[in-house]
Amino acid sequence: MLYFNGSFVVAAMGNNNGSQDRVPACYSDIVFSVASANKSNNYSSFSNHNSYVDVTAPGGTNSSSQYDDICVITGDDDVDYMYGTSFSTPLVSGVASLMMSMREDVRAEDVEYILKHTADDIYLAGFDNFTGYGKINAKEAIRRLSSIYNMERYTTNGGTIIQVDNDWKTFVLYADFYTCVAKKYRIEKNISFNNYNQSTILIWGNIDGTLGVAPSNPNYQIPWCGVKEGTITSSSATIQTYVYKCKELYYPYQTFWYPCEPSEVEFAYTVLGDPPPSTPSISLGTQWDPDMHINHPKLTITRGSEDTDEYNIYRMKNGSSFDVVATISCSGTTTTWVDEIIMSTQYYGDNWWYKVKAKDDFGSESDFSNTVYTKGVQVDSSMNKDEPITLEIPELPSGYSLSAFPNPFNPTTNFKIGLPEAGNVKLSVYNSIGQNVFKFDEYREAGYQNIVFEAKNLNAGVYFYRLNVKNYSKSGKILYVK
């Protein structure tokens, strides 16, 4: 079966404006079903709707205005406007393909879960029969597989046994064409993992390594485990799966477990999250200005997360709002800021109020759970001068690492290299026919190094890279799109 082989199968819901079970879209456990969203950011009236819908994607409106539909190039190089879930489905397939290119170990179940849980609600909150989990958010889905998120896989077994069915119910093992009666049991297990921003955590089950089935449609024989609703915290959750206690309908009425006994249940699951940045600390001092012969306020900053290379400095304005007064950057093992940030002599009352926010690789600011405020004193000429601004660097990387972002890119991408010790860094990029189009060979200090690759004079397509540092090497591919 394609799903077991790692293929992500996408199907259109159909355009009958009804709730019919359309094949193959109705095979919801093994097929990703797509309905249509219209120009008004709502579900398309022509699109089929039922409990099998997973997500929606733009597919047109079928209104009196042709410009509300999808513009296509016809076979005679003319332009036409069409609508249908057959236009929505390739969009989802294309995003899924990009997601699978982000990491070497991305699986079909990873793509399915991330697409569902990063989709934007456009009709009702949560799941509904018209839009599924919502309209796909391609940027957020691809972002979740970028280097700023950690994806870790775990396995465990056993757990707490909870009987779901009190009465015996008819149960058909389609794989064996065998009818019996059964009671359903839920197996729960409390798990813990690395600390993440709770708002970004996604957890889902893996097919490979799980022994247990879903509460519905167990006869697809797809191993299943999932998270118990409402149990996810920043570092823990409760996962669950199901087994059936079966009894033969006729003498000798033997009993057996499907697919295994409760004690033999195995969980394989993935945790994806954005590690919470450690909040940078700031303190207020002064710096001597030899030209004006006065002291200026000066911020000393202790760097927060080791992956954060840029910070915005805010200062209170008019006693209520904060304005950005400076952006400071650092790279590698630099021990001082590139430029000393000397603030102006304006102040609010007798106090200085500042806060610091880190910026991620996308340029977005991180939201810290505790915003940092620093309270100082009024500045005057009687204050002593202070030392230049210094930066405290966290521990060096524990091992070698390499990531390329963005990927796909246009026209530049950044190779971020983690070096636990100094050494000669050799990085090469090759085109699809093996020609070397980029070569970097320099000695670099320990820490996180950034190497920029620019392809604006090259053809679009797939490129391959290889890194060698001492005894460490890593290869991969990047996609240049125009």
Locus of tokens 């990085």: 427
Of residues 130 and 357, which shows the higher confidence score?
Answer: 130
40-54, 165-179, 269-283, 294-308, range with greatest mean pLDDT: 40-54
pLDDT at 351 over 50: no
What angle (nearest 5°) sits at the alpha carbon of residue 55, between those of residues 59 and 27?
110
What is the rounded CA–CA span in Å between residue 166 and residue 383? Answer: 78
Secondary element (H or E) of residue 87: helix 85-102
Please classify residue 478 by burial: count the beta carbons closer than 10 Å to its beta carbon, then call 0-12 exposed, 13-18 middle and 19+ buried: buried
Stretch 418-430: mean pLDDT, rounded?
Answer: 89
Stretch 228-245: mean pLDDT, rounded?
Answer: 94
What is the rounded CA–CA span in Å between residue 269 and residue 107? Answer: 12
What is the tens place of the pLDDT at every residue in 140-149?
999 999 888 8
What average pLDDT is seen over the chain? 79
3-state secondary structure of 200: helix
pLDDT at 432 over 50: yes
pLDDT at 332 over 50: no
What is the rounded CA–CA span in Å between residue 188 and residue 30? Answer: 24
Q: Are 182 and 245 in contact (CB under 8 A)?
A: yes
* Cβ atoms within 10 Å of 388's Cβ, excluding its own: 11
How many Å from the N-terminal Cα to the C-terminal Cα in the chain?
35
- Of 202-211, 279-288, 461-470, where does mean pLDDT reach its minimum? 279-288
The strand pair at 32-37 and 55-58 is best described as parallel
pLDDT at 133 over 70: yes
The two three-digit tokens of residue 233, written as one number: 């915290």
| Spacing of C-alpha 147 from chain mean position | 9
pLDDT at 421 over 80: yes
Q: Are 171 and 245 in contact (CB under 8 A)?
A: no
Of residues 157 and 331, which shows the higher confidence score?
Answer: 157
pLDDT at residue 439 in the model = 93
Q: Are 287 and 304 in contact (CB under 8 A)?
A: no
pLDDT at 211 over 70: yes
What angle (nearest 5°) sits at the alpha carbon of residue 449, between those of residues 443 and 452?
95
Peptide bond into 275 cis (omega under 30): no
What is the tens place of the pLDDT at every residue in 446-467?
777 889 999 988 999 999 999 9
3-state secondary structure of 148: coil
pLDDT at residue 272 in the model = 95
Sign of torsion over alpha carbons 112, 118, 120, 126: positive
pLDDT at 90 over 90: yes
pLDDT at 103 over 90: no
pLDDT at residue 396 in the model = 66
pLDDT at 131 over 60: yes
What is the rounded CA–CA span in Å between residue 134 and residue 121? Answer: 4
What is the rounded CA–CA span in Å between residue 316 and residue 348? Answer: 7
Stretch 212-233: mean pLDDT, rounded?
Answer: 84
What is the tens place of the pLDDT at every residue in 55-85?
999 999 988 887 888 888 887 778 888 999 9
Q: How confident is the model at residue 286 (pLDDT cuts 50, 70, 90)?
A: low
Stretch 433-437: mean pLDDT, rounded?
Answer: 90
pLDDT at residue 80 in the model = 87
- Of 196-200, 204-208, 434-438, 466-470, where does mean pLDDT reach its minimum? 196-200
Q: How confident is the model at residue 230 (pLDDT cuts 50, 70, 90)?
A: very high
pLDDT at 175 over 50: yes
pLDDT at 138 over 90: yes
Q: How confident is the model at residue 279 (pLDDT cuts 50, 70, 90)?
A: low
- pTM of this prediction exceeds 0.75: no
Q: Are 375 and 447 in contact (CB under 8 A)?
A: no
**Core vs surface per residue 337-363: b (16+ CB within 10 A) or e:** beeebbbeeebeeeebbbbbbbbbbee
What are the backbone angles phi and psi of residue 246, rounded to the nearest 5°? Answer: -110, 150
Bridge partners, 132 (sequence order): 128
Q: How confident is the model at residue 290 (pLDDT cuts 50, 70, 90)?
A: low
Q: How confident is the model at residue 24 (pLDDT cuts 50, 70, 90)?
A: confident
CA dihedral 282, 362, 138, 105 (to 10 degrees): -90
What is the rounded CA–CA span in Å between residue 54 and residue 135? Answer: 9
* Cβ atoms within 10 Å of 386's Cβ, excluding its own: 16
What is the tens place of the pLDDT at every residue in 363-382?
566 554 334 444 333 333 33
Locus of tokens 């880190």: 358
